[in-house]
Amino acid sequence: MTPKQVLQMIKDKGVVMVDIKFIDLLGTWQHFATPVSEFRDEAPFDEGLGFDGSSIRGWQSIESSDMLVIPDPDTAVLDPFTKEPTLSLTCNIQDPITRAAYTRDPRNVARKAEAYLKSTGIGDIAYFGPEPEFFIFNGIRYDTNQHSSYFYIDSNEGVWNSGKEGPNLGHKPRYKEGYFPVPPNDTLQDIRSEMVLEMERVGIRVEKHHHEVATAGQAEIDMRFNSLTKMADWLTWHKYICKNVALRHGMTVTFMPKPIFGDNGSGMHTHQSIWKGETPLFAGSGYAGMSELGLHYIAGILQHASALAAFTNPGTNSYRRLVPGFEAPINLAYSSRNRSAAVRIPMYSPSPKAKRIEVRFPDPTCNPYLAFSAMLMAGLDGIQRRLDPGQPLDKDIYALTPAELLEVPTMPASLEAALENLRNDHEFLLKGDVFTEDLVETWIDYKYSREVSQTRLRPHPYEFALYFDG
């Protein structure tokens, strides 16, 4: 859409408010709203709207906090959750003096990543297709202070409530047995369908939805692939819609990777491919129908996976999911069949257009603009340096001997380790000024000071069971 078309849309739809949305460094939507009178002409699309960025996480300090939001007219849709007709516009951030794109704006990073791909001549477009998993709970309570710490999850569907007094009709998915059950075991069919319909209303193409493996309402809604920045926009809408539809029903959604002990966590397998014109560049005659270029891309992902983790698995809780012997794909290898490998090559279709890779270690708490951009930059580095991914891991990982397992590198075991890997391996991200040293340093410093250090300072409840009587 053009600014002129957006102004016409405002008139046609009777819009009374315009909601200005932008993404913070960690990946959470921020917003403010203006009356429609501020959009009498195209000026906001050219001149932007000013705001104070000093309180936005990871952004400027107070002495240089004036910023501009520049609405992207192509993102104009009606917000489905406002009482009054409200137009939503996703925005990019600029410096008000230089009018340069702000280097810590994640959406600008994604746009630069797409531009860098074209500048290399390797391809024209990178497609991404994430599969975000999440939980729909009936309630959540948590608190941490100097003398206590706890969380309490409430789920009518949770198997731990099979003995709950009062009206109790059973039919609760057992631990690790929640994949694809029909109602009445799957109690959330209608809520997920409502989420899908709202996604379609804002222009997202959805492929399917279903119950996931865990008990207590684990779900997945898959979107059809799209270009990098547009998919990051879609994923941000996806999370916004899931949370607000759940709220309509007095429920709550979390994309937290590991909220429940002893059951599957929530990952976000991310399908990726590069095309040039109408040609899918990952299709070829090599292993699993891959091209040499596609295998180099895989090698880049595997080469930099331990650094990528700082963006693709960005929280301390992410590493409760990435644990050996459980469902998580921690092995830095590739395979056409083995889901314990970090990179899988889907074999559902023989069509060259369907040839892609699936990076399995990310989780949905990531900032999609940064995570997708970082994975693209790692893959491009593999292509440019003609890296070799080694032999595929087609064996059953659980049948490998300890000696064989030692030969397979693994993902970092903690956020602290991932941040150290990023500190030591981020040159590939700086190509084309896609990421900057300032952004990488800010990310590492923020994660250390606000998450790693704060988690390290606090006793864990399970430590009382281990050590109180020692």
Active site residue 38: no
Active site residue 220: yes
Within a 10 A sphere around the Cβ of 359, how many other Cβ atoms? 27
Catalytic residue among 24, 79, 114, 131: 131
Catalytic residue among 104, 111, 211, 269: 269
**Are the C-beta atoms of residues 206 and 221 closer than 8 Å to each other?**
yes
CA distances from 204 to 108, 140, 424 (A): 21, 29, 38
Residue with tokens 């501020």: 38
Residue with tokens 């040609």: 279
**Are the C-beta atoms of residues 428 and 113 closer than 8 Å to each other?**
no
Distance CA 470, CA 463 (A): 11
Catalytic residue among 57, 339, 456, 460: 339
Q: Where are the alpha helices (DSSP H) in 385-452?
A: 402-406, 415-424, 427-430, 437-447
For residue 274, give the nearest of 404, 130, 128, 428 by alpha carbon: 128
Distance CA 186, CA 172 (A): 8
Active site residue 358: yes
For 425, the token pair is 């391996």
Distance CA 434, CA 190 (A): 41
Catalytic residue among 198, 233, 358, 363: 358
Active site residue 407: no
Active site residue 157: no
Active site residue 360: yes
Active site residue 339: yes
Rounded to 5 degrees, what angle do the CA atoms 156, 161, 164 make? 105
Catalytic residue among 41, 46, 47, 52: 52
Catalytic residue among 104, 107, 356, 360: 360
Catalytic residue among 79, 220, 233, 363: 220
**Are the C-beta atoms of residues 273 and 281 closer than 8 Å to each other?**
yes
Residues taking part in catalysis? 52, 131, 133, 212, 220, 269, 339, 358, 360
